[in-house]
Structure 1
Amino acid sequence: MIGLIFPYAATTGAVTVRVAPRYLDEQSDPIRGYHVWAYQVRIENAADTAVQLMSRHWVIIDGDGRVEEVSGDGVVGVQPVIGAGQAYDYVSGCPLPTPSGTMHGYYTLRQGAARFDVTIPAFALETPRVRPAAH
């Protein structure tokens, strides 16, 4: 997923969160109602001091409107420190029982003794449209 264009972005203070989702056809099984997406996140710190990502909170809504909220420490098993003027990238995934949905949420960051939330932009999880074969 290197060199991606990040179609979704939100800036809170000096921190910008960018997201690029991608449907994983090879891991999905639409017949059984199992659809999987990977999403790459880039967190950019334009502040003069480092920030540390402490926790995440996601709101995941499938195509039928069912809502699941997921919270936890860090991302992909780490609580990264993002230096001044630096960025942190990671890739994670989301399965859904429907061929579409959305995700959004926030990260809680620490800067010195202060903690604050930054917005994760809402982004679409869409199954690519497949054209029927010509006969």
Structure 2
Amino acid sequence: MTAIDLIFPYSATSHGVTVRVAPRFLPDQSDESEPRFVWSYHVRVENHGGETVQLHDRFWRITDADGHVEIAEGPGVIGQTPVIEPGGAFDYVSGCPLATPSGTMEGHYGMSSDSGRFDAAIPAFALVHPTLKPSIN
């Protein structure tokens, strides 16, 4: 296991693009009495291919512990459509509130290169309250 795997415990590679994710529970923004449980997630998109790629859009499937599914999709990420050179990476941090103390997220990014459009998989990852045991490896 490398240091990057310890920092980003979830990863998926498709079409030469590796997407890594590191979720973190935010107790200061969460309130069990509402109920509202909030996580941040740090994403790193790495270009291991030979062509420059651009991230155009995102598709997320967010599932809470009760099985409620929410779809989040739209252009870019955090207001950007980053261009990533071969060997380069793009990092960003975003957040997700849930009404349950655990859930999962997964999805894909719509990308393009000179060879055409493709989807880069976002690995399924667990959003887990620190007192619970994660169910996704």
TM over 0.5: yes
**Structure 2: segments with no counterpart, 5+ residues:** 133-137
Residue equivalent to 1:53: 55
Q: Percent of aligned positions with the same letter in both sequences?
A: 56
Within a 5 Å distance, the mapping from 1:20-39 to structure 2 comes to 20-39=22-41
Question: After superposition, what is the alpha-carbon deviation per residue over 1:39-91, rounded to whole angstroms, capped at 9, x for unaligned?
Answer: 00000001112100000000000010000111100000000001111011000
TM-superposed CA distance for 1:113, in Å, is 5.8
Task: Determine the C-alpha separation between the residues in 1 that align with 2:98 and 2:90.
Answer: 26
Task: Determine the C-alpha separation between the residues in 1 that align with 2:15 and 2:54.
Answer: 15
**Do residues 71 (structure 1) and 73 (structure 2) align?**
yes
Partner AA of 1:98 in structure 2: T
Tell me the secondary structure at the aligned position of residue 31 of structure 1. coil
TM-score, scaled relative to structure 1:
0.91
Question: After superposition, what is the alpha-carbon deviation per residue over 1:22-55, rounded to whole angstroms, capped at 9, x for unaligned?
Answer: 0000000111100000000000001112100000
Tell me the secondary structure at the aligned position of residue 26 of structure 1. helix
Q: How many matched pairs?
A: 128
Within a 5 Å distance, the mapping from 1:1-135 to structure 2 comes to 5-112=7-114, 114-129=116-131
Partner AA of 1:56 in structure 2: R
CA RMSD of aligned residues (A): 1.4
TM-superposed CA distance for 1:129, in Å, is 1.1
Task: Determine the C-alpha separation between the residues in 1 that align with 2:48 and 2:107.
Answer: 20
Tell me the secondary structure at the aligned position of residue 30 of structure 1. coil
Partner AA of 2:67 in structure 1: G
Larger radius of gyration: 1
**Structure 1: segments with no counterpart, 5+ residues:** 131-135
TM-score, scaled relative to structure 2:
0.90
Tell me the secondary structure at the aligned position of residue 33 of structure 2. helix
